[in-house]
Structure 1
Amino acid sequence: MNLKNKVVLITGASSGIGEAIAKKFAQEGALIALTARRKEVLDKFAANLEVKTRVASYKCDVTNVDEVKNVYRQIKIDFGKVDIALLNSGVSFRSSVKEFSSEKAKVTFDTNVLGIINFVEVLLPDFMSERNGVIVGVSSLADSRGFPKSGFYCASKAAASIFLESLRIELKPYNVKVITVRPGFVKTPMTDKNEFFMPFLMEPDKAASIIVNGIKKEKKRIQFPLAISLAVRFLRIMPDFLFEFLASREPIPRK
């Protein structure tokens, strides 16, 4: 897929993977609509972007259906259409059962699952009628099992992955592509909070290159790094008693 002059919508573009992906798309000559809750950060990023392409920023909370509808409407006015929607917004809370909070669960699912669904809802009528478009949903390799202190996050990413898989099958007759991105550990403000050792921790720029190249090749799933991807495949078939024994051990602290 040639990305030049493609209109790309990116959610959660103010930092981390979203910001790095925006740079890669700009280098490919795409036209970029950036969304995040912090518009001032997006404006600064757009102003400092070295590659000259068309970039616009929009304040949008993906959990707010009305904001999503209004922003999508404005993007279509400004750009005429959306070719690729990269739905990247995400949050994570590390908390044990001693700090159990349904509010944290709500925020996690509202952002990581409904944040994708809310944008898909506004994209589908145009993509299906035009029989064209690409939906890229960012999930995680953490969707494989329920890791301690990360239950809300793992469950939300599992839900996102399953939803995207179902969507991919249904949209195939409409020529609408659905891509699931499943990264391992990427150095972002979200993972900076993790107190444990993160193997194969990757810089956002490298992760963004893998993701954009995967989109260009129209892969159904983009998952990395290979070592972690293979490890989680093994974890999925591992007997419950063995997984529970290993997962209950204290994680290696960060140095």
Structure 2
Amino acid sequence: MDRCDDAPLVFITGASSGIGQALAARYAAAGWRLALVARRTAEIGRWAAEAGLAADRWRAYGADVSDIDSIVAAGHACLRVQGVPDVVIANAGISVGVDTAERADLDVMARTFATNNTGLAATFQPFIVAMRRRGRGRLVGVASVAAIRGLPGHGAYCASKAAVVAYCESLRGELRGTGVNVVTLLPGYVDTPLTRQNRYPMPFLMTPQAFADRAVRAIEAGDSYRVIPWQMGVVAKLLRLLPNPLFDRLLQGRPRKHRQTGSA
């Protein structure tokens, strides 16, 4: 088992870019060992080399989070090679616009749920027994403020992130008293490849690095639920309080997320 010292270990999915890579950098700077998961492991290797990470401080695991056997195998490989993580962050996710009138978009929705929901649960699954046995650990689900209200044209993503919130809440109750904490993070708008093509205003837009700093503080504090930044949480909750007719009128004509086909 690869344990160069007693440094804590974090397991992060979607680590080849965006939020996942920023979280990896933040934990590396704090002296943690890294278990990094992505389909594109070569990109993780390039990033680690550019960051000057010692070879014994990180490992990359190739996996497709939408494939249960693939991500579960990555988790078991981490357990064999690096040991039981102190923190597992299910960060990998996809965001594509959908139109339910289009048959092809049902496949997009299925893939979104496979990645954002089943993939999240499969990310946690290999570690739960070992964490319970040890009596400590943190499982972190990355949701979104899009979970709070459904946005036109964004039904797959909003529904999947609402499901992340509900799933993590359920898991938190199941693990109560075991020493294993469940943390749910709801990012607002973060400047990543997922958001750069958005055709609508993105208030309180953050860099991935700014999000990672706040996220790690929330994880260390053991927060059960945290919207980042807090200002976006206030906006989202106000939208939740709006009566449906007013909410619908407010979003009428709002540009929609790009569909996979590239059409509006």
The two structures share one fold, judged by TM-score above 0.5: yes
Contiguous gaps of at least 5 residues in structure 1: none
Alpha-carbon separation, structure 1, partners of 2:184 and 2:72: 23
Alpha-carbon separation, structure 1, partners of 2:173 and 2:120: 17
Equivalent of residue 87 in structure 2, options 62, 81, 84: 84
Alpha-carbon separation, structure 2, partners of 1:111 and 1:69: 13
Q: Comparing 188-197 with 16-25, which one deviates more in the overlay?
A: 188-197
Shift of 1:249: 3.2
**Equivalent residue, structure 2, for 1:44:** 46
Deviations 1:222-245 (A, max 9, x none): 212222110111111211111111
SS of 2:203 mapped into structure 1: coil
Q: TM-score, normalised by structure 1?
A: 0.93
Residue 214, structure 1, aligned to residue 218, structure 2: yes
Residue 33, structure 1, aligned to residue 43, structure 2: no
Q: Comparing 224-233 with 89-98, which one deviates more in the overlay?
A: 89-98
Q: Comparing 146-155 with 166-175, which one deviates more in the overlay?
A: 166-175
Residue 63, structure 1, aligned to residue 66, structure 2: yes
SS of 2:175 mapped into structure 1: helix
Q: Could you list the runs of 4 or more consecutive aligned residues of structure 1 that deviate by over 2 angstroms after TM superposition?
A: 50-53, 95-100, 249-253
Q: TM-score, normalised by structure 2?
A: 0.90
Residue 126, structure 1, aligned to residue 130, structure 2: yes
Alpha-carbon separation, structure 1, partners of 2:123 and 2:254: 38
Q: Which amino acid aligns with 2:12?
A: I
Shift of 1:252: 10
Alpha-carbon separation, structure 1, partners of 2:113 and 2:136: 28
Shift of 1:129: 2.0
Asked if the contact 1:63–1:118 (Cα under 8 Å) also holds between the matched residues in 2, the reply is no
Alpha-carbon separation, structure 1, partners of 2:156 and 2:71: 24
**Equivalent residue, structure 1, for 2:3:** none
Asked if the contact 1:17–1:208 (Cα under 8 Å) also holds between the matched residues in 2, the reply is yes
Q: Which amino acid aligns with 2:74?
A: V
Alpha-carbon separation, structure 2, partners of 1:237 and 1:169: 26
Asked if the contact 1:42–1:57 (Cα under 8 Å) also holds between the matched residues in 2, the reply is yes
Alpha-carbon separation, structure 2, partners of 1:235 and 1:245: 12
State, as a whole percentage, how many aligned pairs show the same letter. Answer: 35
Q: Which amino acid aligns with 2:223?
A: K
SS of 1:173 mapped into structure 2: coil
Residue 177, structure 1, aligned to residue 181, structure 2: yes
SS of 2:227 mapped into structure 1: strand
Shift of 1:158: 0.1
Q: Comparing 159-168 with 233-242, which one deviates more in the overlay?
A: 233-242
Asked if the contact 2:12–2:36 (Cα under 8 Å) also holds between the matched residues in 1, the reply is yes
Residue 107, structure 1, aligned to residue 111, structure 2: yes
* Alignment length (residue pairs): 250
**Equivalent residue, structure 2, for 1:14:** 16
**Equivalent residue, structure 2, for 1:153:** 157
Asked if the contact 2:100–2:106 (Cα under 8 Å) also holds between the matched residues in 1, the reply is no
Q: Comparing 117-126 with 7-16, which one deviates more in the overlay?
A: 117-126
Asked if the contact 1:134–1:176 (Cα under 8 Å) also holds between the matched residues in 2, the reply is yes
Asked if the contact 2:136–2:178 (Cα under 8 Å) also holds between the matched residues in 1, the reply is yes
Asked if the contact 1:94–1:194 (Cα under 8 Å) also holds between the matched residues in 2, the reply is no
Q: Which amino acid aligns with 1:34?
A: L
Deviations 1:188-232 (A, max 9, x none): 000012111211111111011110111122211221222211011
Asked if the contact 1:96–1:148 (Cα under 8 Å) also holds between the matched residues in 2, the reply is no
Q: Comparing 62-71 with 139-148, which one deviates more in the overlay?
A: 62-71
Alpha-carbon separation, structure 1, partners of 2:240 and 2:67: 34
